[in-house]
Amino acid sequence: MKAILSSFTSNVLDIDCSKVTVQLEARIREMVFHRLRRKGAVIGLSGGIDSSVTAAICARALGKDRVFGVMMPENDSSGDSLDLGRLLADVLAIRTAVENIGPTLEALECYQRRDDAIRRVIPEYGQGWKSKLVLPNLVESSQYALFSVVAQSPSGEMKKARLTAEAYLEIVAATNFKQRIRKTIEYHHADRLWYAVAGTPNRLEYAQGFFVKNGDGSADFKPIAHLYKTQVYQLGRYLGVPEEILRRPPTTDTYSLEQSQEEFYFALPLEKMDLCLYGKNKGVAPEEVATAVGLSIEKVQRVFAIIDSKLNSTRYLHLPPQLLEPIDEVDAR
């Protein structure tokens, strides 16, 4: 039977940033220089907290001259993503490249495929429109987790329509080009520099499957995947990540309309979701978690069920390529 913590408060995720930083630096050096036998790290810079903290801790661990940041805007990117990525690179004094992946995505018909799928439920959707995908608030609602598309016309009129399963899958398949092309660019720079690619997910994203397989889910090492989102923010402040990045709300930066991670994937604000995930991982009773998070016991139980559901439904994303028979000479090494 799982142990029950006697005291569970909202500051249970507080960390000793000095101690964590020393540990991370040592592990990153061991990982990059010895296990992976590479000379440095490549990181995709999005202007968000996770990529910023990953870049900052790698610069401390490996040296600023051994970290290479890549900024990869496209047609739907937020206007401040590139500016914040550049700001961070200036603060860290690391080398960077800007790779506009918009033309590549156009050649792959990423935007056309997405728009064709949206027109299945909003026929007038076309040039000059913007859109995003949203879920119902799964904690407040008893609805099934069915996505809708929210679209804005060039005149500013807003429309919302429930997506069919076929349209939803086509939109996701089309927009997944973005993460996969970005990762291709990162590995190009890693190959030419003999560097390793650093992944940037936090624990909430990694555990709940908030990534694209062979896209942002791919990396040679993931230095902050064990840290909860609120812990990443703590570390960011300690490492001197610019305040403009610390204040920026977490966003998918995938769709043309502004979109929070909460409305796209997570059922709660991230600081509350962190506490629920931590509590569930530690076997804390829903009654104790409810008090710390400020939710009813029934809502915490609902969040626990959502966590389990995502763990099960995204298990495929964590699987490496599956072999039908063992390869003895490889497995023996």
- The residue type at 203: R
**Which pLDDT does position 139 carry in this prediction?**
63
Helices first, then strands: H and E counts in the chain: 15, 7
12-25 pLDDT, tens per residue? 999 999 999 999 99
Record the pTM. 0.93
pLDDT higher than 70, residue 45: yes
Question: Burial, 124: exposed, middle or buried (Cβ in 10 Å; 0-12, 13-18, 19+)?
Answer: exposed
Nearest-5° Cα angle at 57, 54 to 59: 105
In degrees rounded to 5, what are phi and psi of residue 214? 60, 20
Pairwise CA distance, residues 122 & 162, whole Å: 10
pLDDT higher than 60, residue 3: no
> Is the model more confident about 328 or about 194?
194
pLDDT higher than 60, residue 71: yes
Pairwise CA distance, residues 72 & 186, whole Å: 9
Whether residue 133 contacts residue 163, with contact meaning beta carbons closer than 8 Å, is answered with yes
pLDDT higher than 90, residue 318: yes
Mean pLDDT of 306-330: 92
98-137 pLDDT, tens per residue? 999 999 999 999 999 999 999 999 999 999 999 999 887 6
Please give the distance of CA 142 from its chain centroid, rounded to a whole number: 26
72-86 pLDDT, tens per residue? 999 999 889 999 999
232-288 pLDDT, tens per residue? 999 999 999 999 999 998 877 888 998 777 766 776 888 999 999 999 999 999 999
Pairwise CA distance, residues 90 & 159, whole Å: 41
Q: What is the DSSP string of 134-166?
A: E---TTT--S----EEEEE-TT--EEEEEPPHH
Whether residue 86 contacts residue 50, with contact meaning beta carbons closer than 8 Å, is answered with no
Pairwise CA distance, residues 72 & 59, whole Å: 20
pLDDT higher than 50, residue 321: yes
**Which pLDDT does position 1 carry in this prediction?**
37
185-227 pLDDT, tens per residue? 999 999 999 999 999 999 999 999 999 999 999 999 999 999 9
152-182 pLDDT, tens per residue? 999 999 999 999 999 999 999 999 999 999 9
Least confident span in 3-12, 179-188, 246-255, 324-333: 3-12
